[in-house]
Amino acid sequence: KAGVTQTPRYLIKTRGQQVTLSCSPISGHRSVSWYQQTPGQGLQFLFEYFSETQRNKGNFPGRFSGRQFSNSRSEMNVSTLELGDSALYLCASSLAKGTAEQYFGPGTRLTVT
């Protein structure tokens, strides 16, 4: 069974631009979570989607948004990019709502210049 896939793997953007990252969960997994990883703040939760509905949201500004499609694929969008948004963005999928065990994708490395 294929693992979690994320595209693109690397991205360079300029301040003020917007970016969309994509995540395809493991087949059959319906929950997708997004995390931001930086050297200073570590791993921080962004949001979680289950059956196209946002179930949980972390403490990030409204510039960070996401959605989930009927096939469980998820996208996250960051608008008006800031230098501090440079990070590794990790997507994780789990089998169902309430399932604690999550499996991660390889991440998207975003660099904002």
Partner 1 sequence: AQTVTQSQPEMSVQEAETVTLSCTYDTSENNYYLFWYKQPPSRQMILVIRQEAYKQQNATENRFSVNFQKAAKSFSLKISDSQLGDTAMYFCAFSRDNTPLVFGKGTRLSVIA
Q: Please report, as ranges, the residues that interact with partner 1 according to CB under 8 A.
A: 33, 35, 42-43, 45, 48, 55-56, 58, 88, 90, 92, 97-107, 109
CB of 63 to partner 1, least distance (A): 19
Is 112 within 8 Å of 82 (Cβ atoms)?
Answer: yes
Cis (ω within 30 of 0) for the bond into 8?
yes
CB of 68 to partner 1, least distance (A): 15
Q: How far is the CB of 80 from partner 1 (least distance, A)?
A: 25
Burial letters 17-56, b for 16+ CB under 10 A, else e: eebebebbbbeebbbbbbbbeeeeeeeeebbbbbeeeeee
The residue whose two tokens read 């169902």 is: 96
Of 18 and 41, the one with the shorter C-beta distance to partner 1 is 41
Taking the least distance from each CB to partner 1, the nearer of 43 and 82 is: 43
CA dihedral (33, 83, 111, 42) positive or negative: negative
Q: 3-state class of 83 per DSSP?
A: helix
Nearer to partner 1, 12 or 16 (CB): 12
**Min CB(56)–partner 1 separation in Å:** 6
User: Would you say 38 or 80 has its CB closer to partner 1?
Assistant: 38
